[in-house]
């Protein structure tokens, strides 16, 4: 059996622009590929790399002639996945098509297109592909559960209404098949330390996942819903062994929240240092974790931590409370100072609400000045698909297809000020943020072409 796993390309220009700054390997597809064992063959088609993704997809179907096609991704890619499935059914009508990923897991009822998708997979795709292939090998009917849903099944609606299945250890312990992609194509922007001369701002990078799930319940995040309250962690030694085996100097931790288990992360840093593994790391962390464990981040600085992504969201208490962030403005400010004292670069994520007025945008502008130097990202609050908040807001959506615009850079809800003015203020945030990025403030010496690439991209 030939299995084709597809990383869907971005449709919206905003999402395409983001990929000029950050393009990570198709990690989900690599993990699922790791579960496909001989005599079955597996191929990854990464359409994010293609200038003409649809033509590349057609060419892959014609040349590889897959028997099983796995599509997936975020809600913003749902329409594109339907278009790709239409092409797949035209060119390979005998092939089985599966839809997985974030959107299929959180909103399975929206994915019931029996003419396009034979199966909808929720949650862990690694274990699911094993179950599906085993059933096909044995000539048995597809398994039916809240995890694997045949779209033609009369029980589809009942199964889809159940909570997502709990995480399975297979999903965290399987090693990714990086050999199926060209790792030289993937990069992440990295700023170095103050005064440092950087060979490039866009080094090649590899992803590593050490855990899945998050115990927090932020209102804008769907992780706790998808993980069904479970949190899985890999053995520290296994993670360190994988990192040591990678040729890439830069490692991006793709955990939902890397530093939840602080004792475990302390042991990981100590082991990396003991073994003399010299890498540079990028990771997410909460501001309250930074405040409560500054010594941990000092240790990780010694281990090679260079870039910390922090979801500050806001410096206003009322906003943090509405997001159920369980953090305070003072913690955000203190975390910023701790990371600054350690010379760690920061990716500062701030959030904008659809009901913001001019004074609220001005408050975010002040937050930029206070939190900089940092790489800034601004998102617009959108209720996560699959949650009660999304269902309650559905009658208020301002676009016919909210999933198409669900990239957190567009509002799917009405704005308090006129829409054009809202987006004008939102664009100003990105322009102001570009003036406070680390290489400009910290005087990091970088190739001119890279500096121009950053600035021109930030002001588009």
Per-residue pLDDT of the chain (460 residues; tens, 9 = 90+): 999 999 999 988 888 888 888 999 999 999 999 999 999 999 999 999 999 999 999 999 999 999 999 999 999 999 999 999 999 999 999 999 999 999 999 999 999 999 999 999 998 899 999 999 999 999 998 888 888 999 999 999 999 998 777 777 777 888 999 999 999 999 998 887 777 788 888 999 999 999 998 888 888 888 877 877 778 899 999 999 999 999 999 999 999 899 999 999 999 999 999 999 999 999 999 999 999 999 999 999 999 999 999 999 999 999 999 998 999 999 999 999 999 999 999 999 999 999 999 999 999 999 999 999 999 999 999 988 877 788 888 889 998 888 888 888 999 999 999 999 999 999 999 999 988 888 766 777 778 787 677 666 555 5
Whose tokens are 């001005």? That residue is 362
Q: How many CA atoms lie within 13 A of 30 on its CB side?
A: 20
Close Cβ partners of 73 (under 8 Å, ≥ 6 residues apart) = 7, 8, 80, 81, 101, 102, 103
* Structural contact between residues 147 and 128, judged by C-beta atoms closer than 8 angstroms: yes
Structure tokens at 402: 């909210």
Element (H, E) at 90: helix 78-91
For 416, phi then psi, to 5°, come to -75, -40
Helix axes 294-303, 262-274, angle to 10 degrees: 30
159-189 per-residue burial string, b: 16 or more CB within 10 A, e: under 16: bbeeebbebbebbbebebbbebbeeeebbbb
Q: How many helices (H) and strands (E) does the chain have?
A: 20, 16
Dihedral of alpha carbons 403, 404, 410, 416, sign: negative
Please choose, from the candidates 435, 385, 443, the residue with its C-alpha nearest in 3D space to the C-alpha of residue 78: 385
* Structural contact between residues 81 and 57, judged by C-beta atoms closer than 8 angstroms: no
């Amino acid at each position: 059996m030939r299995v084709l796993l597809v990383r869907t390309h971005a449709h919206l220009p905003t999402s395409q622009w983001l990929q000029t700054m950050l393009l990570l390997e198709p990690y989900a597809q690599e993990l699922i590929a790791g579960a496909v064992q001989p005599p079955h063959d597996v191929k990854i088609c990464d359409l994010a790399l293609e200038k003409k993704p649809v033509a590349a997809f057609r060419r892959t179907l014609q040349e590889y002639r897959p028997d099983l096609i796995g599509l997936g991704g975020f809600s913003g890619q749902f329409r594109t996945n339907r278009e790709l499935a239409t092409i797949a059914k035209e060119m390979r009508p005998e092939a089985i098509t599966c839809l997985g990923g974030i959107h299929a897991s959180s909103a399975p009822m929206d994915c019931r297109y029996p003419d396009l998708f034979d199966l909808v997979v929720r949650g862990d795709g690694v274990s699911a592909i094993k179950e599906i292939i085993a059933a096909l090998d044995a000539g048995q009917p597809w398994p039916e559960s809240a995890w694997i849903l045949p779209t033609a099944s009369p029980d589809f609606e009942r199964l889809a209404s159940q909570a997502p299945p709990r995480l399975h250890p297979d999903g965290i312990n399987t090693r990714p098949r990086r050999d199926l992609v060209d790792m030289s194509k993937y990069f992440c922007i990295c700023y170095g330390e103050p005064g440092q001369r950087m060979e490039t701002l866009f080094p090649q990078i590899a992803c590593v996942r050490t855990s899945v799930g998050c115990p927090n319940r932020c209102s804008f995040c769907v992780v706790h819903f998808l993980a069904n309250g479970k949190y899985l962690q890999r053995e520290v030694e296994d993670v360190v062994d994988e990192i040591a085996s990678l040729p890439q100097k830069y490692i991006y931790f793709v955990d939902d929240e890397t530093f939840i288990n602080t004792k475990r992360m302390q042991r990981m840093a100590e082991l990396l240092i003991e073994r003399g593994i010299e890498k540079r790391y990028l990771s997410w962390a909460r501001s309250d974790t930074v405040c409560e464990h500054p010594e941990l981040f000092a240790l990780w600085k010694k281990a090679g931590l260079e870039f910390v992504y922090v979801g500050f969201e806001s410096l206003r208490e009322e906003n943090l409370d509405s997001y159920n962030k369980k953090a305070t403005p003072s913690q955000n400010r203190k975390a910023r100072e701790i990371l600054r004292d350690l010379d760690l670069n920061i990716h500062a994520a701030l959030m904008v609400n659809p009901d913001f007025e001019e004074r609220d945008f001005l408050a975010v502008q002040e937050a930029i000045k206070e939190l900089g130097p940092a790489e800034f990202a601004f998102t617009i609050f959108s209720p996560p698909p699959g949650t009660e908040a999304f269902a309650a807001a559905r009658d208020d959506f301002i676009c016919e297809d909210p999933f198409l615009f669900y990239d957190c850079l567009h509002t799917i809800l009405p704005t308090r000020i006129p829409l054009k003015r809202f987006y004008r203020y939102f664009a100003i945030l990105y322009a102001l943020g570009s003036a406070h990025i680390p290489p400009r403030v910290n005087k990091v010496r970088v190739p001119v072409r890279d500096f121009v690439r950053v600035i021109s991209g930030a002001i588009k």
